[in-house]
Amino acid sequence: MNNYKRKLTEKTINFYPPDKECYACYDTGIVNNSDRLVNRLFWNDYDIDDKGRNFAGSDAAIICHCKRAYQQLDEDQNVINSGYRDSLGNIKSVVTSSGEHTLGVSLSKDQTRMLHHKRKECWQQSVKLMNDYRLQNINNSKKELPYFIQTVKETLKNTPSLFSFPTEKATVESMKLNQSEPPHT
Ligand SMILES: [Zn+2]
């Protein structure tokens, strides 16, 4: 049997949340905002550009307060991650060609903790919801899906093809077409 095939005994119907210690940064040291919780709770214009569009990375990174934001060593005391804060908790800075920059900004410890607790709670709710659905679906020939998965599925159905990029030839041709078009008067 191929080594990527799971044994039947390894499979369960349980839904598992991400196995992380810190849900503020998902153990990366940089506070995550993919669910826009930072906007909803604290900074409503965070990572939103001048035109009001969501643009992840347009603002400074938010450095977490958990141990993942600090230097990490392995058993032999080798540095495996240099971290974003020094031993006093100050955010480190780097010198680049355009001068000295700090690696990011901070929410307060209480705010960061709030992100962690709220997300942890949401994951627990998702676990319960998903497990209820899975249990319920075991004997159903027509599988029911939670509304948020159903919505995404429907949206994707109406998307022509996520991976159909124009070929180089088509791009060049459409550029030529645009150039040869007389200006509208
Ligand atoms: Zn963290």
Q: Determine, yes or no, domain membership for 119.
A: yes
Confidence band of 19 (pLDDT split at 50, 70, 90): very high
How far apart are the CA of 25 and the centre of ligand 1, in A?
A: 4
Model confidence, pTM: 0.75
Report the pLDDT value the prediction gives residue 182, as an integer from 0 to 100: 59
Q: Is residue 133 part of a domain?
A: yes
Confirm whether 179 is domain-assigned: no
pLDDT tens sequence across 140-179: 888 888 888 888 888 888 777 767 777 777 777 777 777 6
- Ligand 1 centroid to Cα of residue 74, in Å, is 19
pLDDT at residue 65 in the model: 98
State the CB neighbour count (10 A cutoff) for residue 112.
Answer: 23
31-81 residue pLDDT tens: 999 999 999 999 999 999 889 898 888 999 999 999 999 999 999 999 999
User: Is residue 170 in a domain?
Assistant: no
Biggest CA pair distance of the chain: 73
Determine the distance separating the centroid of ligand 1 and the alpha carbon of 58, expressed in angstroms. Answer: 21
- Is residue 101 domain-resident? yes
CA–centroid distance, residue 21 to ligand 1 (Å): 8
Instruction: Measure 104 CA to ligand 1 centroid, in angstroms.
Output: 14
Q: What spacing in Å lies between the alpha carbon of 29 and ligand 1's midpoint?
A: 5
pLDDT of 75 reads: 94
Confidence (pLDDT) at 180 = 61
- Measured CA to CA, the distance from residue 72 to residue 43 in angstroms comes to 29
Q: Is residue 78 part of a domain?
A: yes
Q: How many domains does the chain have?
A: 1
Sequence-ordered list of residues with C-beta below 8 angstroms from that of 80, at least 6 positions apart, any chain: 72, 73, 74
pLDDT at 77: 92
Q: Is residue 156 part of a domain?
A: no
Reported as half-sphere exposure (CB side, CA atoms, 13 A), residue 50 has a value of 0
Q: Quote the ligand 1 centre to 52 CA distance (angstroms).
A: 28
Domain that holds residue 52: 8-143
